[in-house]
Structure 1
Amino acid sequence: MELRGKQKRYLRAHANHLQPIFAVGKEGLTDTWLAQLNGALNRRELIKVNILQNADVTTDEVRHFIESQTDIQVVQVIGRVLVLFKVADNKEQRELSAKVKKI
């Protein structure tokens, strides 16, 4: 699902109160990290990822890695924090994506 402007605004508003639950550190970007990120997004649909100061990657590299490897969409980049959205694979867990689709 390609997000429109209103949908992104809605998701940014929902992400405002969230704390980052994933971090990119000195280990960098790995397939295992990406699989865990994908699993968390299947349960929550919207999360924040923090890029730590000791990470050897930039926000643009993280964004490109995530978007090129998966169907996860980067909604917003705030400094070293990325807001990510993905429609859950399980239909029963698609609460947020159902609301976003109606917008």
Structure 2
Amino acid sequence: MNLTTKQKQYLKGLAHNLKPVVLLGANGLTEGVLAEIDNALQHHELIKVKVPTTDREVKLAIVDAIVRETGAVNVQLIGHNAVLYRQSEEMKIAIPKAR
């Protein structure tokens, strides 16, 4: 799923007040963490994941792996938080239509 700039801006606005739902620990990105992210995306559609590493390339690699494994869209990576979106069957969030 590709999002337009307008759709990403809308989702960023919704995510502003959210707290991170999943925090990566010392073990990094494990199958259990991926399952939890998948579960959270299914339940909420829009989540924040905290990736506590100072190395930007490692952080990007982790977020890319999450996106690849869960089928989510990386809306924003700011600081240690990644904002992820994946539409569920019930469509809880109505995003603006792409033109």
Q: Same fold (TM over 0.5)?
A: yes
2:95 counterpart (82, 91, 100): 100
The answer (yes or no) to whether the contact 1:45–1:85 under 8 Å persists in 2 is yes
Identity of aligned residues (%): 33
CA drift of 1:70 comes to: 2.4
- Please tell me whether the aligned partners of residues 10 and 100 of structure 1 are also in contact (alpha carbons under 8 angstroms): yes
1:58 Cα offset (Å): 2.6
8 Å contact 2:46–2:86 — kept in the other structure? yes
Superposition deviation, residue 81 in structure 1:
0.7
What TM-score do the two structures reach when normalised by structure 2? 0.86
| Number of the residue aligned with 1:76 | 76
The one-letter amino acid paired with 1:13 is G
CA contact (8 A) 1:50 1:81 kept: yes
Partner of 1:86 in structure 2?
A: 86
Q: Which moved more, 1:63-72 or 1:6-15?
A: 63-72
**Contact 2:22–2:36, Cα closer than 8 Å, also in 1:** no
Aligned residue for 2:19, secondary structure, equals coil
Verify the 8 A CA contact 1:25 1:53 in the aligned structure 2: no
How much does 1:52 deviate? 2.5
Is the alpha carbon distance of 1:95 and 1:102 closer, same or farther for their aligned partners in structure 2, counting shifts above 3 Å? farther
**2:6–2:96 Cα contact (<8 Å) kept:** no
1:18 corresponding residue in structure 2:
18
Unaligned ranges ≥5, structure 1? none
What do residues 27-64 of structure 1 show as CA deviations (whole Å, max 9, x unaligned)? 1111221111111111100011112259xx83112111
In the comparison of the two structures, how many residue pairs are matched? 97
Q: Matched residue of 1:43: which SS?
A: helix
